[in-house]
Structure formats: C-alpha cells, structure tokens
Structure 1
Amino acid sequence: MKLKVLGLLFCSAIVSAQNIQNNPGSNHGNKFEQLGTILPTPNVYRTASGAPGQGYWQQRADYDIEAYLDEDKRNLKGAETITYYNNSPDKLDYIWLQLDENEQSSIKNADYPSSSILPKKTTIENFKPTQLPITDNGYGVNLEKVTDANGVALKYVVNKTMMRIDLPKAIKKGEKFIFKINWNYNIPNRMEMGGRGGYENFPEDGNDLYTMAQWFPRMCVYSDFHGWQNHQFTGRGEFALVFGNYKVKMNVPADHIVGGTGECKNYEQVLSSEQYERYKKAENASEPVEIVTIDEAKKAEKKHSKERKTWIFEANDVRDFAWTSSRKFIWDAMRVTIPENNNKVMAMSFYGKEAYRLYRKFSTKAVAHTIKTYSEFTIPYPYPVAQSIEAANGMEYPMICFNYGRTEKDGTYSEAIKNGMLGVIIHEVGHNFFPMIINSDERQWTWMDEGLNTFVEYLTEERWDNKFPSKRGPAWTIVDYMKLPKNELEPIMTNSENIIKFGPNAYAKPATGLNILRETIMGRELFDKAFKTYAKRWAFRHPEPADFFRTMEDASGEDLDWFWRGWFYGTDPVDISIDKVTIATADFDGTPKSEDVKYTVDKPLQNEFEDVSKIKNREDKSIKFYVDSDKDVQDFYYRYDRNQEKVNVSKEYVITAGDNLEKVSNKDIAKNQNLIAYQIDFSNKGGLVMPIILEFTFEDGSKLNDKISVQIWRSNEQKASKTYFFEKKLKSVQLDPMRETADINTSNNLWTATSTETISKFQVFKQKQKDVRGASNGKVNPMQAAGKK
C-alpha cells in the first residue's frame, strides 16, 4: 500500500522481539553478538540457512465466485464455493475466514479505538452528537447462507472481522473440504469513509468508479509458525492470505468496463467488435493501444444502461482477487516481454478522463518498466497481466492495483503530481512481488512487504529516471525520523497495529537499511545475489523475518547479525563523531638506547594455591601420574619444582635491553622522511554501529577516500581510533561525505587543519631481528644458574 493519511493514531504498546543484550554493562559484547535465541529455532519446516525445510508445507484454497453489482443500490451480492486443502500435518476441527468489510461497520468492526481530543476547528460533516449506544450504520458483511457442498448448513460464529466455521468432521492431512457462502453488503463511499474497497462518485457526470477489494469472505492462513492467523483487521495491518486458483464472474451494468485479477475469458462477448480488435492489436503492440478510447468513455458517461453483462476472469496461483468496474474507464494496453523467462505480459491501464493526460502518457509504460525491473532484482514476473487503475488512492492486489494521478481541468499537472503518480504506480505494481508472490504475513510484519517493496521501488525509480526525486531509500532521507526522541520511535520489528509513525518505520527505514546494505556494506553484486536468492526461495511461499535475515547471510557469506540487531531490532540512530586528530612526524635522528636491567632467576612455576582437585588426585591411589612413573621425563625442573635442585634465587643478574634496535639507514630516511602521521579518534554517539567512511582532502587539493569496516567497533562500541601515514599535509577530513550511513548529526563530521595545530614527534628505528616465539629471551634461567644441562 502507498501510505495515505489514515487519520488514526494507534496506541504505543509495542509487540516486538526484544533486542537482548548479552553484556549490557560493558562497552563491547552487545552490538556484534549473534541474534541467537531472538530468532526462532530452525526446524524441518524452516532451516538455519533461511530456506524452506524438507518438511515445509502450506495450505491452499480455490474459489469459484459469482458477484452481482447493483449500481442503483450500491450493493454487492455474491455466492462463492471454496475448496480448502489441508496440507498441514494437523487435523483441523474448525477453519477461520476474514470478513474485511466488517471494518466499515459501526458495530462489527475490530474495535481498535484511538484517543480523541477537542478540535480547534472541524467540518460540519464531523460535527454531530455522539450516539450511545452505537447504532448500526448499515455496512459490513451480511451472511445469507453458509453450507457444505451438499447444501447442509454449517455452524459458524462471527467475531468482529473474523468468522469461524465449526466443521462437522475434522479435516485430516491431505484432505479437502468444500463449502459455500452467500453474502451481500452495502458498498461504502471510500472517499468519505476511507478503506480500500468501495466507490467514488463523480457528481459532474453522475457516475461511480468501483474498486472491489477485500470484497468476499477469504480464508485465513494456517501455518507452521503461527497456527491460524486470525488477528482482527483494523484497517492498518494488511493481510495474510492463502494461494489458490480463482474463477470469478462479475455481473455489472452492460456499459461498464471491468478490470480484474487474472485473465478475462470472454472479452469477445463483453466488448464491442471494434474494442475487441483493438485488444488483439494491443497483444502484440510495443506502445500502448487505446482499447476503450476517451471519446467512447465520454459517451458512456452520459448514458446509464439498464442492461447487464457478465465478465469472466480466471487466475491461478494467486493469494487474492480484486476488480474494478465503471463506465468512465478509458483502457489502454500493450505487450511486454520479461527477458528472464520470456513471459509475455499484458500491461494495462484503466482511468477516467480526469487522469487522461497523465495516465495515457505514463501509466502503462510505468507498469511495463516496473515488472521488468523487479524481475531483474527478484524473480521473473510469472503472471499474464499487470494493471494500473486510476482511483485516487493507492492499494495493491495480484495483477491489479489502484493508484492516483489526475490533471487540472485544463489538462496541465504539477511535477509533484506526475512524480507522485509514477511513484505510486511503481510501488503498487511492485507489490505483485512483495507480498503477492513472496507472500509474507502483512498483518504481523508490515516491513516484510512494504519495506522490501519500497526498497525495490527505489531501485526501479532510479532506473526510470536518474533525477527522480525519491523520498524513501537514500540514507539521508531517513535522518529526520532517526533524530526523533526514543519515546516516539519503535523498532522495525514491531507489529503493524502498534507502529506510531507508520510510513517512516515500516516503509522508509527498512528500505533505507537495505539500500545501505547494498551500497555501503555488502556491495551491489553480493547483495543482489543474496536478495534474489531470498526471492527465489520464498516465491509462492510464506516467509518470516528470520527466513530473510538468514538467507541474506547464508547466500552472501556476510555476518550481518550486527546490522539486523541495530537497524531492525533497535531504535538507536547513527551519529559517529570525529573527536580529535593528533598529528606527528617521524624523528630519525635518535640513537637506540640500551640499558642494564637487573633481575633474578624464576622460582619454580608452581600454582600459588593447591586447589581441591590436585589434593583429591593425590589422595586417590588409583591415579598414577605419568611423570612419577617414567624417569626419562624427570628433568631438572621436575626436581626443581620438588625442591630437589637448589638454586640461588636471590642472586641478581644483568641484561642489556633495547640492543635489538639500530639506527635507520640514510636510504630509508630519504624514502620516509616526508611521512606525516594522523591519529583520528572517533566516538559512537548515536549507538548504532556503522562503517566509518572518510574523505581526505590535502593542501594541494587532491583527495583520497577510505571505508573502515564496521568491525572496528568490536572491541569498544563507543570509541575507536585509526592512524594514517601520508606524504603530504591534510587540509581536512570529512566523515560520511556522501551521506550514505544516515548519520543524524553532520556537525561533528568534519575536521579542518589550522595553523595552530600541535605537531609531535615519534622516534623511528630499525629492528635487527624479530623476536621468535619460543626462543631464548636472553635471561639466565634456573638450569643455567644451577650449572645443569
């Protein structure tokens, strides 16, 4: 969903995995610890690699639906047959369905209220007395009949937006259950009441534009990780849905044009001969062809047919079905081929005359661009159709989405409206991949569809136009959100209903994090391969967060637990500071100084305390100590430790220290005499660890860049230092010059050299030879002192 202002703020209770710290009292051992028990334990269904396991299963539901759109009463009547397949290892005594339209009801909604305060000003539409008790506003699903395949009534209970059907006989593994539901509901005016589905009325021509979404009772997901996902639909957290095949018949006024999920099977019967010929032409066109022209749409607006037509659609392997209907529609289409699988897709757009100058020029081409670009970064687009419907909102369903973008009455438009329209089309069409194919649980984890989709949306916008003003994805765009006080933030890993700042948290922050991973931490090649692996593994399946985290690491060879821990489970921002720069030059003139050091020989290397194990081992006569039984290994120190060898441990010996250094040669001095050392001290003021990216500018105007791995913070998560040696003087050091880490405070990111800078000296010598581990250290040892060999 392209985020709209919903007008609701939800309570701040956070349901999220805890960012457990292993060593909270220390400056290390927290931010780089493995996620460990924060992630669910791998099993036969979901492996430690992030891939589906050998025992992975998921349910399936097929739908056969007939719908009747009553335009005069603004009512939708439907009858559906559902075939539900139990592929789980469990016996199911009951099943759950979603009744999303109950969210529009005043008495059957999910009952998730928000606080309200006295307004400073309001509209007359909102100014009305509070009715208590609350009366029925007439919206929501009216269930007419619920039966099995033979027409026998089934027991059921409706709990707000959820419906449980109690089965006459448990469904066992491998069995299926067929049942039928007849229902109707009054279609809401979504421009006034909000929500996804409904109608928009156009008073100037007396017509409605219907977007039929979440319009029929739909199966809930039953999964290995959650059981039944029957959390109430509040209007915020979106959907968890089951894959299946759909056959849908929509009976609508004869002058309506219908677009829907899947392929229409009877265009030849419902279109005029001219329109059908144009559709056939569009099937092989590389430019959009108007199937229903603007002139035909304008004529249709003036006549309201009392005749009826039935449009027939079929869609396979989809998790939902949505459709649109109106006599206002202009319709254009063209064929686009997906290179990765040679799939030939019909890219199509439906829109009213109010959007003509924008949608006719851009929409279908943006649809084609989106599915081709997403295919490159994820999996090849598998469906036969992709559609964009102009409906003054933003919402997504398989193969069809609803977007905004209308011109002024004179046909002109602002650049902001154009770019907003392109952005919402790319975003909503992109949802075909996340979550329509890579089918995450939106009701629980909004970021898994919105965040991942917003990230690929950004990549797609970039491919559309390098000057496209993307608002989500670039690191610098998330800074204002990351600056907020902690009590206004929650981790990305927060349940949908409990997120306060929904857009920044669920869309922008995960998209930004993934872009930082791609551009700054992992690199494009490594990231892209891992991301495609995730998409391929979980296409047409139900992934969870751990599956994504584990796959990205498994497919890349990168340990990213520090990143998931900080960016997804925490609320700390990035604020790395350059605290100090210390400058020093080399002093080659000194002579290595040696000095005499007095010492005594080592006493026997026995434990200072006889522990209980040693005492018990001596008392245990069954234990034979090797050195006591083999005289060949009883050397000088065997006897020394037992006071059998006498050594004067008070006598002082003398050793000369420092004699392994010598003066640097003139050749080496000439080679290195211009080196200047710069020690840069950093502090992690924000708390979120990140690579340190530096740009060095020298006095001669030249520049160098360096990126210090995030691992520099391992030993101390608060302080770090790095020393560089240059042959010319630094003029400045800029931290994060491209603003690619989302650093919230750039005022502490620059060091500039001054004429008053203190420059110290450090001595440089040449080492005669390196110390060898295990070699003599030059001291007299007890064996030598005793004159023994």
Structure 2
Amino acid sequence: MRKLQSFLVGAGLLTVAAQTQAQTATDSKFDQHEAFAPMFYPSYGDEVRAADGTPGPKYWQNRADYKIDATLDDSLHTIDGNVVITYTNNSPQALQFVWLQLDQNIYNQASRGVAATAIGGGRWANRNAFNGGYNIESVTVIEDGKEQKADFLINDTRMQIKLAKGIKSQGGIIQFKIKYGFTIPEYGTDRTGRLKTKNGWINEVAQWYPRMCVYDNVNGWNTLPYLGQGEFYLEYGDIEYAITAPANHIVVGSGELLNAKEVFTAEQLKKYNEAKESEKTVTLRGVEDVNNAATRPAKDKLTWRFKCINTRDVAWASSKAFVWDAARINLPGGKKSLAQSVYPVESAGDSAWSRSTEYVKGAIEYYSQYLYPFSYPVATNVAGIVGGMEYPGIVFCGYTAKQGGLWGVTSHEFGHNWFPMIVGSNERKFPWMDEGFNTFINTMADKHFNNGEYQAKNATNRQPYARAFSGDNAESILTVPDVTSPGNLGIVAYFKPGTGLTLLRENILGEGRFDSAFSYYVHQWAFKHPTPWDFFHCIENYSGETLDWFWRGWYINKWKIDQAVTDVAPVDAKDLSKGSIVTIANLEQLPMPAVIEIKEANGKVSRVKLPVEVWQHGSSWKFHVNSTDKVIKATIDPDKTLPDYNKSNNSWYAE
C-alpha cells in the first residue's frame, strides 16, 4: 500500500510539473494526442509481410510468363496477335478462376471509361468517337498437355476464366492461349497511340495483349477496371514476343533484341555494336537516311524478336519515319546497357531530340547509382503522340518536347523503371508510390545532370505550395487515382508525395539516413509488391525513427503546417549576457522539427534546431538561447523549406 501511495503522490507531482511545462497557443488547432497517437498501423506483421517492412519468410507472389506473336498492319492500323500465358500459382490457396486485364476495351464506346468521362473530355478521353477494343477470337486452357475451350466472361476491361480443375497451390501451373486483334487508337489515353508525320505513322503500342491481374495476400484478385487515370498493377515473369511489321520499319521494344542480324542492314549492325561501346551518341539512321531504301533490308516484311526477363510488362514502337541513335550506359559493377532514341525528322535538332540519348544515359546512370542498377539491356526513348508514359526499358515522350522539357519528361519516365518497374507497387490504387517517389528522384537527377543544367531555381522554397498541398480544394495523397479530381492529380500523386520524401530527407532524417533507408526499401522490394504500410514500416525500422505522426499528417490526411515565433524575452533585462527565452508555436495539425534563426543587435546570427518531440508537450514551446545582446529578430524556418500555411507569423521583430 505504501508503494502505491508513493506512486500516486509522485504521479501527482509529475502532473503538476507537466502542466507547468506544457503550454497551448490559444489559437492553435494542434492536438498532440491526435498527432502522436499510439495506434497507427492497421495490422501487425506476419510471415508474409513482416513488421519491419520487409517481405516475410513466407512471402509469395504469383508469376506470369508470356509468349506473344503479333503482326502490325500499318495501312489498317491493326494488331493481330496470339499469346500463350504460363501462369504459376505460388499462393497457399488453390484457384478456381483467374482474372485478366483487357485494357484496350477502354476504347470501346460502351466502356466504363467512356461513360465516366466528363462532357468536356480531358486527358483520358476517347477522342474522335473512336470505337475500338479487343476482338477476342478464341480462349483456350492448356493443362496436362491438353487444350480445350475456356469458360470465360468478359466484363468491360476484365476477363474471368473459370477452371474445371482449378490451379493447385504453391506452384501449380496452367497455360492460357488467346487469339485476339484490335485497332490502334490514334490517341490512347496518353499511354498508347499513333502519330502521322510527313514520312509515315509512328506507332507507340502498349496495353497490347491480355495480361494477368495480380492475385496477392492483400486484396486477393486486383480487378479495378481501367478508366484511364489509374495506371497498372502487374505480375512479374519472362516475356518473349515477336513483332512482324513492314520491312521498311524500325521496331524498338522492351528487353533484348534477339535477331539484330536479320533486321538490321550490315551498316546499321556495325554502328549498333559501335554504340554499345561509345560514351558519345552514335547515329545509326540519320535525318538524311529516313527515305533512303538502302537503310532497310530489301524485303516485304520482317519479324523482330525480343525477350524481356523478370518484367511486369513490355511495349514497343514501329515506324518507317524513325531517325535512330544510341550510346553506352555505364552501370554499377562494370555492367553496361544501351541508351537509344527514335524520333521523326520533325523532332531532330540539338535543342530537341538529338540530345535525347544523352538524357537517357544521364538519367539511368544516376538512378542506377543512387537506388539500384538498371535491370534491362536497352533503354529506348520514343518520340510520338504520347506526352509521357513509361514501360520496362522503353518510354514514350512527346515529339515536340525540347531542352529542359525533354530532359524533364525523359528523366521522369525512365525514373519509372525503378518505381514501379523494379519496385512493383499497385499504381491502380496508390499512384503516389510510383509517381511521387519518381518525382522525388527526378529532383535529385536534376541537380546531378550536366552540373545542374536544368535544375529548377529556388527549388528549396516550399512556402508557395502550402495551399495546393493542404488548402480547401486539396485531396489526401491516399486517394484512389480515378477518384482524384483531374486538376489535383499532379499535386496528389506527384508533387506532394515527392515533397514528402524531400522533407524526410532534409528536415526529419537527414540526407545520409534517408538515402540509406530509401535504398534499403528498394532492394528489399525489388520485383515484389509492397503496400504503403510496408513502405512506412521499412523506412521506420531502417532509420530507427517512429514516423507515424508524419505519415498520418502528410500522406493520409491533408494536415497543414503553420509554425510561428510568438515571443522573445531576455532572461534578465539588466544583464543581456544571460541569454533569451524564445517561444514558438505549432498552430496547425501537422508537427515538424523546427529551425529558428536568431539575430542580435551586435550582428551575431545563430540557429537552434529542435526535434519534433518538442510538440509532444503541446502547441507552444519555450527554449533558451545563449544570446549576449538584444535579440532583434527571430525567424522559424529561415530557409523556407517547409510549406508553411501562414508565413506572416514566421518572424518576430523587437519593437
């Protein structure tokens, strides 16, 4: 009983002491109990997804391997294809049915994507009343060496195949064979399409074969329809594909070209091999060669064969109008890859696409050093109608892009080879895990490329973005892309989550701790499927910091930041050498570490850095400064690195 009484008396004294220290600004919206609430994660770690944010000892994911044969009819703008899918069920459950994505069906006038498009159209609209979609000629199941018709149902952009026997768990294998065709849309939701140039059509072909939906331990089958704004979530596997096209075309695609000798001229093959060893761009087919029949084999058609290993997708492009150049990419450990660009003569020029290969090389070499080595043998930039879209080892960028605009879109689209091509997050639900992370690494590459040739000025001043991030019309980062207002997508999916990583790096963890934690996350989840919670756990465990207050305020909610200096007073007005007491306040819901700059009448300038924990005691905090003269100015966030919602209260001035 005495011990309990002693505890109660001690607790009472502690309560009084805490009340003396904790102070609240009367006009503050901050609640430390909400910001630093102990319960954050929706579930505990298990053997599939460990609590430290890494794949657990029993992590599994299914596998999809593809073998595709397709023919391009450039006069009719059609693709006819045949795909054999080898699907491996590594899950602990037997599967009685499977789901596939049929993304071309968004271009059918009866699709959900068309129905959900506003009258005014927009980036994802089906333009010119194009009525496309897949023509599925046949679907068969191959099991135990026997092929039989499949029991399947097509609903919008999804297809379900029902299985008589099912697929055994933990390694069961089945094959599907699908014969299909479709017309290439001229404008395909800014992800695929074709551009008419003076020397012929440029075909940028993506979402061009039926693809397996992901089956995981989070949602089971991931079957959200393709509406345009949301992107993709795909299984990994090996993909072999053959493209038969007119012989006067150049075809480029994801992965390794297997039969260069059959599809190049002798001179092109020579220059191709030269480019593989060249730091400088080598021209394989110049502006003056585009209409020269001698630059292509004298045949009617040619079949280009490619193979892409451990990939979630493949895409390709084909045209007789291509100018073509290439150069070597240097990767960590002495490995090499090839950067190449194809573009029409309209896009050539030293201020435009003639520097594209230099940009590809620069971006990939930087990201490979910072995060994880580039995992494909070739990196191809294609100029066409698509403004900017990424696929494994190949990207589509706008043919009119120039200078900093071309560098920016090239660097961004190739940054996607890390998010989500290597780290395979669910873009259909969480676009910030690829677009936001990629936007962050783009800012790093901007500083590095050619001594910052295209680095944005005043990039560290984030005060102007506060209202876009957290204003009345803002939306949470954790919003499904198809639900996000199109006008907010750039902020919600790209800029705000990217800025969040910058704040983690520069304001919370520091550059060294963040960089090593971020690289650790990439290596742990390379070619796997992380969730947002896996990312949060992983960064926290590796960095050794509890960051739920930041995830909660910045990524899940749209809490504002508003730090202020409210008062400065000398410890002893008669003896200024004893220092000063500075009072700061957190007036909005999101806490952040604080940096305060102190200027004295004698000209001395000093800074105090305070951890986020000072706000665990309330919305107001006092601290001592070793000043020796009258303080004439105190400024919180002097470098303006925080998107502070009210900058007018950031500085205090002596009367």
TM-score after normalising by structure 2: 0.89
> Aligned letter for 1:32?
F
Residues 118 and 277 of structure 1: is their aligned pair in 2 closer, same or farther, counting only changes over 3 Å?
A: closer
Q: Which amino acid aligns with 1:140?
A: G
Identify the match of residue 731 of structure 1 among 632, 636, 643.
632
Alpha-carbon distance between aligned partners in 2 of 1:305 and 1:270, rounded to the nearest angstrom: 10
Match of 1:748 among 649, 652, 655: 649
Residue 306 of structure 1: how far off its partner (Å): 8.3
What's the secondary structure of 2:290's corresponding residue?
helix
The answer on whether the counterparts of 2:53 and 2:541 sit within 8 Å (CA) in structure 1 is yes
Which is worse superposed, 258-267 or 744-753? 744-753
After superposition, residues 288-303 of structure 1 pair within 5 angstroms as 288-299=281-292
- Percent of aligned pairs sharing the same letter: 35
Tell me whether 1:356 sits opposite 2:348 in the alignment: yes
Distance between the aligned counterparts of 2:498 and 2:403, measured in 1?
A: 22
Partner of 1:27: 31
Q: 1:310 to 1:508 in 2, by over 3 A?
A: same
Counterpart position of 1:531:
518
Q: Aligned to 1:147, which of 137, 140, 146?
A: 140
Task: Note the C-alpha offset of 1:268.
Answer: 0.9
The residue number in structure 2 matching 1:399 is 393
Q: Which amino acid aligns with 2:161?
A: I
Provide the rounded CA distance (Å) in 1 between the counterparts of 2:376 and 2:120.
48
Once structures 1 and 2 are overlaid, which stretch shifts more, 101-110 or 292-301? Answer: 292-301
Distance in structure 1 (CA, Å) of the matches to 2:266 and 2:84: 33
Give the Å deviation of 1:95.
0.7
Q: 1:182 aligns with which of 174, 179, 183?
A: 179
* Match of residue 199, structure 1, among 194, 200, 207: 194
| CA pair 478-201 structure 1, distance change in 2 beyond 3 A | farther
**Distance in 2 (alpha carbons) for counterparts of 1:369 and 1:84:** 37
Equivalent residue runs for 1:699-778 within 5 Å: 699-716=601-618, 718-754=619-655
Question: May I ask how many residue pairs the two structures share in their alignment?
Answer: 616
Q: Secondary structure at the match of 1:30?
A: helix
Partner in structure 2 of residue 170 of structure 1: 166
Q: Which amino acid aligns with 2:270?
A: E
Show the counterpart of 1:581. 568
Equivalent residue number for residue 233 of structure 1: 226
Within a 5 Å distance, the mapping from 1:274-673 to structure 2 comes to 274-299=267-292, 307-339=300-332, 341-357=333-349, 358-392=351-385, 393-406=387-400, 417-464=402-449, 465-466=451-452, 468-470=454-456, 474=460, 476=462, 479-482=465-468, 485-486=471-472, 488-500=473-485, 501-585=488-572, 673=575
CA distance in 2, matches of 1:752, 1:516: 27
Q: Who is 2:577 aligned against?
A: 675
Matched, 1:104 2:107: yes
Q: Separation in 1 of the partners of 2:189 and 2:280? A: 35
SS in 2 for 1:508: helix
CA contact (8 A) 1:350 1:389 kept: yes
Does residue 81 (structure 1) correspond to residue 84 (structure 2)? The answer is yes
Deviation per CA, 1:315-359, whole angstroms, max 9, x where unpaired? Answer: 1100001000011111111112212x3221111111111221145
Runs of at least 5 residues in structure 2 that lack an aligned partner in the other structure? 1-27
Deviation at 1:491, TM superposition (A): 1.5
Q: Distance in 1 between matches of 2:286 and 2:271?
A: 10
Change in Cα spacing, 1:283 to 1:477, as seen in structure 2 (3 Å) is farther
Cα pair 1:112 1:234 within 8 Å, conserved:
no
> 8 Å contact 1:257–1:329 — kept in the other structure?
yes
8 Å contact kept, 1:695–1:733: yes
Q: Look up the equivalent residue of 1:690 and give its one-letter code.
A: M
Structure 1 115/273 Cα, relative in aligned 2: closer, same or farther at 3 Å? closer
Q: Which has the larger radius of gyration?
A: 1
Shift of 1:118: 12
Residues 38-73 of structure 1 show CA distances to partners (whole Å, capped at 9, x for unaligned) of 433311100000010011001111111011111111
Output the CA distance in 2 between the equivalents of 1:750 and 1:474.
Answer: 19
Can you give the 5+ residue segments of structure 1 that lack an aligned partner in the other structure? 1-23, 120-124, 129-135, 408-416, 588-672, 755-789
Q: Displacement of 1:461 after TM fit?
A: 1.0
Structure 1 residues 481 and 291, CA gap change in structure 2 (3 angstroms): farther
TM-aligned CA deviation for residue 677 of structure 1: 3.5
CA distance in structure 2 between the partners assigned to 1:553 and 1:76 by the alignment? 48
What whole-Å deviation, never above 9, does each CA across 1:345-404 have from its counterpart, x for those lacking one?
A: 111111111221145542112212212211222112222111211224100000000112
CA distance in 2 between partners of 1:69 and 1:142 (Å): 15
1:723 deviates by 2.9
Query: What displacement does 1:300 show?
Result: 6.1
Q: 1:35 to 1:257 in 2, by over 3 A?
A: farther
* C-alpha displacement of 1:106: 0.5
| AA in 2 matched with 1:725 | N
Equivalent of 1:685 in 581, 587, 591? 587
Could you tell me which residue of structure 1 aligns to residue 55 of structure 2?
Answer: 52
Which of 263, 268, 272 is equivalent to 2:261?
268
Normalised to the residue count of structure 1, the TM-score between the two structures is 0.74
Contact map agreement 1:405 1:420 (CA 8 A) in 2:
no
Q: Distance in 1 between matches of 2:319 and 2:298?
A: 12
Find the counterpart in structure 2 of residue 643 from structure 1.
Answer: none
Q: Given residue 206 of structure 2, which amino acid in structure 1 is its aligned partner?
A: A
RMSD of aligned alpha carbons? 2.6
Cα contact 1:68–1:76 (8 A) shared by 2: yes
Counterparts of 2:512 and 2:525, CA distance in 1: 20
SS of residue paired to 2:376: coil
**Matched residues in 1 for 2:582 and 2:102: separation?**
61
Q: Structure 2: how far apart are the matches of 1:274 and 1:565?
A: 59
* CA distance in structure 2 between the aligned counterparts of 1:273 and 1:386, rounded to whole angstroms: 22
Give 1:111 shift.
Answer: 5.6
How big is each residue's C-alpha offset from its partner over 1:197-216, in whole Å with a ceiling of 9 and x where there is no partner?
121112x44x1100001111
Give the Cα separation in 2 of the matches to 1:166 and 1:583: 78
| More off after superposition, 328-337 vs 304-313 | 304-313
Q: Are positions 1:698 and 2:594 aligned together?
A: no
Task: Deviation per CA, 1:469-516: give whole Å up to 9, x if none.
Answer: 449974617615446533x22221121211221110110001101001
The residue that corresponds to 1:9 in the other structure is none
Is residue 93 of structure 1 aligned with residue 96 of structure 2? yes
Structure 1 stretches of 4+ with a deviation exceeding 4 A read 114-119, 300-306, 471-475
Contact 1:455 1:514 in 2 (8 A): yes
Q: Which residue identity is paired with 1:403? A: C
Change (3 A) 1:748 1:680: same
Cα 1:306/1:278, change in 2 over 3 Å:
closer
Distance 1:484 1:472, change over 3 A: farther
CA pair 434-729 structure 1, distance change in 2 beyond 3 A: same
